């Protein structure tokens, strides 16, 4: 949209928890057959899929049947919120983290973005109630980067909190995500489906050894013989505390290797498994939450409330523009899991695709603010939606036919 953009990143790669946290399934982006999150997120999937770095079920397999379940559930492509059995197979993409990094690098290079990796955010620069830039710590020393609009995509609300925006705090499980290699996934799935009672017993024991996980603690990846383990679940750690983060990393690795010892000895298909890598980023789900111009509630998400200023969407819930705007600070907008929502609402709306939808809307809003010479809160939500649609995104301004809606005026 013609804006000059600098992208600051603390790690030596782009992609956040998708890449560095190895959250290797993009889900919560469909409400059945309708794919609700498109735009930048779908462009990432398409780029990775062309290289074999992303896999998703074709349309004919997106059904509720035991055949489809057996074929796709170990890819994480089931509707994990559905109560029925088998859960329907929906559009969801399993991907490789380095495939994500490669696609990210290509996209920012094509957009001529000034990327500055290895830049650790320190504090916001605020003058007269307006965010003017940020200070980063780097190997080159302390650096100040100025901007007319600042987008806080830190996930932890680091910038907005430093700028004085009000926030609340939430807490949830953290995870030291890892991958195992040398897994015979054919044998592992045969055991699951052909010896269900024996499988269930060993699977329960595995979960006890690691201290808890989702129903499926391992999923397949685009790399043969390598599985993704979004576990162990570890409650009681504050991801804003250096002490707790350190404890979580140590505790997570202890649990990982205890699990590996157990499944090598007991789980068919895992006799020769080994740890390929542990995610360099701790799997954090909830820390600071913006207390913005509007606070999204659990009821808003569950009741599929549609807002007059909707600018982004998830599976069948909608994000109002006001929930991305901090109170009392101009020149600043947030995008990601730290948007303005209650803790219970955030747990239902913090998956990566809807956060990417939010991010695309934030970038468009920033450009419109600059081009029109107005503050962010005066940018029209309708104009944001028109621009996002022109880019191939679905901002949620046209709610799905099967959504139960309540129109809430801004």
Q: Which of 223, 249, 284 is the last residue of a domain?
A: 284
Quick one: 257 and 301 in the same domain?
no
What is residue 410's predicted lDDT score, i.e. its pLDDT?
44
Pair 256, 296 in one domain? no
Residue 37: predicted pLDDT:
96
Evaluate whether residue 60 is within a structural domain.
no
Which among 37, 46, 95, 90 has a CA at the least distance from the CA of 358?
Answer: 37
Asked if 289 and 168 count as a contact pair (C-beta separation under 8 A), the reply is yes
pLDDT of 399: 84
279/311 same-domain check: no
Q: Do 260 and 359 have their domain in common? A: no
Average pLDDT along the chain = 96
The answer on 401 and 256 residing in a single domain is no
Q: What is the pLDDT of residues 103-155, one digit of tens each?
A: 999 999 999 999 999 999 999 999 999 999 999 999 999 999 999 999 999 99
Q: If you average pLDDT over residues 228-242, what whole number do you get? A: 97
Same domain (yes/no): 354, 400: yes
Instruction: Clarify whether residues 179 and 252 are in a common domain.
Output: yes
Helix or strand holding residue 363 (H, E) = helix 352-372
DSSP string, 178-204: EEEES--HHHHHHHHHHSHHHHHHHHH
* Inside any domain, residue 90: no
Q: Which domain holds residue 342?
A: 104-168+288-408
pLDDT in tens, 356-368: 999 999 999 999 9
Question: Could you tell me if residue 179 is inside a domain?
Answer: yes
Q: Where is the domain boundary, 284, 318, 335?
A: 284
The per-residue pLDDT for range 258-276, each reduced to its tens digit, is: 999 999 999 999 999 999 9
157 inside domain:
yes
Q: Is residue 27 part of a domain?
A: no
pLDDT value of position 33: 82
The per-residue pLDDT for range 385-410, each reduced to its tens digit, is 999 999 999 999 998 765 555 555 44
Residue 385 has which token pair? 């939606």
Whether 257 and 390 share a structural domain: no
For residue 367, the domain's CATH number is: 3.50.50
Establish if 298 belongs to a structural domain: yes
The 3-class secondary structure across 309-345, one letter per residue, is: CEEEECCCCEEEHHHHCECCCECEEECCCCCCECHHH
Q: Which of 222, 254, 284 is at the close of a domain?
A: 284
Judge whether 79 lies within some domain: no
Same domain assignment for residues 127 and 180: no
The pLDDT of residue 400: 74
Q: Which pLDDT belongs to residue 88? A: 96
Specify whether 274 is located in the same domain as 299: no
pTM, rounded to two decimals: 0.95
Mean pLDDT (whole number) for 170-188: 97
Say whether both 278 and 292 belong to one domain.
no
318 lies in a domain? yes
Q: Percentage of the chain surpassing pLDDT 90?
A: 95
Distance CA 403, CA 230 (A): 30
The total number of structural domains in the chain stands at: 2
Residues 203 and 346 in one domain: no
The CATH number assigned to the domain holding 187 equals 3.30.70
Residue range 294-322: average pLDDT?
96
């Amino acid at each position: 949209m013609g804006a000059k953009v600098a992208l600051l990143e603390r790690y030596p790669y782009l992609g956040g928890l998708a890449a560095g946290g190895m959250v290797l399934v993009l889900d919560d982006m469909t409400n059945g057959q309708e794919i609700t999150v498109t735009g930048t997120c779908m462009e990432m999937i398409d780029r990775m899929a062309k290289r074999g770095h992303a896999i998703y079920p074709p349309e004919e397999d997106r059904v509720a049947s035991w055949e489809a379940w057996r074929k796709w559930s170990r890819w994480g492509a089931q509707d994990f919120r559905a109560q029925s059995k088998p859960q329907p197979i929906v559009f969801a993409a399993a991907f490789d983290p380095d495939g994500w990094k490669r696609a990210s690098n290509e996209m920012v290079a094509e957009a001529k973005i000034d990327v500055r990796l290895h830049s650790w955010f320190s504090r916001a620069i605020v003058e007269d109630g307006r965010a003017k830039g940020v200070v980063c710590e780097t190997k080159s020393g302390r650096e100040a980067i100025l901007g007319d609009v600042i987008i806080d995509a830190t996930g932890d609300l680091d910038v907005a909190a430093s700028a004085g925006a009000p926030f609340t705090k939430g807490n949830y499980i953290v995870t030291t995500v890892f991958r195992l290699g040398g897994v015979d996934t054919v044998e592992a799935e045969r055991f699951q489906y052909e010896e269900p009672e024996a499988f269930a017993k060993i699977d329960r024991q595995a979960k006890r050894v690691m201290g808890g996980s989702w129903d499926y603690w391992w999923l397949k990846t685009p790399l043969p013989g390598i599985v993704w383990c979004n576990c162990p679940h570890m409650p009681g750690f504050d991801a804003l505390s250096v002490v707790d983060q350190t404890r979580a990393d140590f505790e997570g690795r202890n649990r990982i290797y205890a699990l590996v010892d157990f499944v090598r000895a007991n789980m068919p298909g895992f006799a020769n498994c080994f740890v390929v890598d542990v995610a360099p980023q701790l799997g954090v789900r909830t820390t600071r939450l913006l207390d913005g111009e509007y606070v999204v509630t659990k009821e808003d998400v569950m009741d599929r409330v549609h807002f007059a200023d909707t600018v982004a969407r998830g599976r069948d819930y909608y994000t109002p523009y006001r929930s991305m705007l901090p109170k009392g600070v101009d020149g600043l907008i947030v995008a990601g899991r730290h948007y303005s929502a209650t803790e219970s609402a955030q747990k239902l709306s913090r998956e990566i695709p809807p956060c990417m939808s939010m991010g695309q809307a934030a970038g468009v809003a920033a450009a419109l603010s600059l081009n029109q010479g107005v503050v962010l809160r005066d940018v029209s939500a309708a104009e944001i939606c028109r621009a996002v649609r022109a880019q191939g995104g679905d901002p949620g301004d046209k709610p799905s036919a099967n959504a139960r809606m309540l129109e809430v005026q801004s």
